[in-house]
Structure 1
């Protein structure tokens, strides 16, 4: 990728992914916080699974993780789902069915790294007997499904459980008016929604609502009657969409300042900075509630804000350099692919180096203030 590339919305779907591989800045090595946050919500996930109607044991039970990314978190959550459903079948005096698990994300996702984390007993071509005989007792057939979850991905009435965590805040595109210099919603001088004008924020909000509506329409066709969805995305507690909470602090402070550094040092133009925007929107409870109710296909079993905690996992909280590196790697793991596509690998390295330096000078403050809140939704078909 050269330094004169502007990532269009058409290209975004092909490019957007968490940082692949197993390097220092990879998602696989910088998603410990997501693992901690997800584990803290397992009791809510199990409540949602208790609402799933058990089918004929002769019919495979199908689980999907939407926005799976490329680390072990998605494998861990599928384990939780499968094991909980097995226990429900056994408690009902039924022989558990075979299980299929589909891991889905955009085409740019590093499925190779993900599949390397799957033990042999979770792959195609392994019998149920072999699965049960395996030392880790993993018992499902795994497959990858590339594509946007804002469109159809599966046959009708095919899925028993849809699960998605930390993905629905990623939009299908940056709102076009936000990138239009002639528009009143043009996000001049900024690379994310946090701290933007109300008009800009409302454009992001509209895009989120359209995307979530498309997501619900697709799932309403694919989900079996009696199935369930458990959805988690970054959220906010403020009614003001320009205040994006933890997501805003992640991308709207030191990350934003690092882009400004590149402009001030003459490494990129201000126009180059302004043509980059993070396609992330942290919704409020009301945002989600209104879209679900407007769609009408699903009943809300649970909808709440859940405090997830800090996205930074450090061994020495008093070590500001470690905090700075943790923030830079967190930013890189989720936005590095887009940054590299926009300004090239060399300037991307310069950008994240400045993120690290700036964050290190505010280490204590970051650990205290950088807290994520999540919107948790458990949905099933409306009666």
Structure 2
């Protein structure tokens, strides 16, 4: 997907060279690992090359400030410990770093403050579970399920509306904060156009439905929790089609789409892909990194441990299928202000 990031930076129309002394960029939904810094490095270097020709043309680049955004619960301490030493000593770093805690569905920066926005693997997370999905008196009540995949048509429609509302809020905020001539690079989970119904989330079911949902029912069958606990838990994730994504961008009207495509991700990275126990352990650990905090908050750590152990066993049983099919399509988008 990095070629689209480079292409996005190629769309910048900011003042060049001595006219602009400070360039700003922000990663929205940044997490706390090395991948976050990889994206930051690529953006900073790409902006320097695009606007100043790098060091080859003899134009000293301006200073950069990179803002890392995520919810307040994100481990910003770990992230900042990973910054290169040059960002913490007396020398001039590649960029000055700052953390901005808060939801990217709200305003985070002053008007016309950021030159480049990126958000990778985050926009499929909704701001909340749709209220109708949690209402026992609603047709959209998601009884017996924990995700939109395979749910009722009413549940699917509620999830789709929530995604549309959230993405529209995201775009409105960024349209205010983005500098004229700036650009935005977005990546989120998606589903193919052939999976037109919201309740068909394609292979994303491997992450948030399917084995994960069956593991909840294992806990019910063993008497460890009652069914109400399952009914009151829903994963606030929605994987849109390209058409659904484009519809929201077009309706907002603030952005021009430079590129919008669906890119298939890689299979799971497993040390020993032929070893079912290794596949099961890796899949369970990956899913826990995504969902563990939500499950822990809902049922407590002991039952959380039990649930993901059930998931590990199920993933072991389906190891061959998972290695062949557990690949996720992603919506990759490059936007510029109209």
TM range (shorter): over 0.9
Determine helix, strand or coil for the equivalent of 2:235.
Answer: coil
1:45 aligns with 2:8: no
Structure 2 match to 1:356: 312
Q: Does 1:148 align with 2:108?
A: no
Which residues in structure 2 correspond to 1:1-383 (within 5 Å)?
A: 41-56=1-16, 57=18, 58-91=20-53, 93=57, 94-123=59-88, 130-131=91-92, 139-237=94-192, 238-310=195-267, 312-382=268-338
Rounded to whole Å, the distance in 1 between the matches of 2:203 and 2:12 is 32
Q: CA deviation at 1:95?
A: 2.3
Distance between the aligned counterparts of 2:53 and 2:67, measured in 1? 26
Higher relative contact order (CA 8 A, sep 6+): 1
State the Cα deviation string for residues 298-337 of structure 1 (Å, max 9, x = none).
0111111111122x21011110001101111111001100
Structure 2 CA distance, aligned partners of 1:59 and 1:203? 46
How high is the TM-score relative to the length of structure 1? Answer: 0.84
8 A contact 2:122–2:187 mirrored in 1: yes
The TM-score, its normalising length taken from structure 2, stands at: 0.95
Whole-angstrom CA distance in 2 between matches of 1:97 and 1:376: 29
What is the CA distance between 1:280 and its match in structure 2? 0.3
Once the two structures are superposed, residues 179-214 of structure 1 have per-residue CA deviations (whole angstroms, 9 ceiling, x without a partner) of: 111110000000111111111011000000000000
Q: What SS is found at the alignment partner of 1:309? A: coil
Tell me whether 89-98 or 109-118 shows the greater mean CA deviation.
89-98
Which ranges of structure 1 fall in alignment gaps of 5 or more residues?
Answer: 1-40, 132-137
* Cα contact 2:9–2:50 (8 A) shared by 1: no
Q: CA deviation at 1:120?
A: 2.8
Alpha-carbon shift at residue 249 of structure 1 (Å): 1.8
Could you say what secondary structure the match of 2:259 adopts? strand
Deviation of 1:77 after TM superposition, in Å, equals 0.6
Tell me, in whole angstroms, the C-alpha distance in 2 between the residues paired with 1:55 and 1:253. Answer: 50
- Residues 65 and 102 in structure 1, CA contact (< 8 A), matched pair in contact too: yes
Distance 1:182 1:340 in 2: 27
Conserved in 1, the CA contact under 8 Å of 2:215 and 2:311?
A: yes
Distance 1:89 1:297, change over 3 A: closer
C-alpha separation between the residues in 2 aligned to 1:368 and 1:240?
Answer: 24
RMSD: 1.2
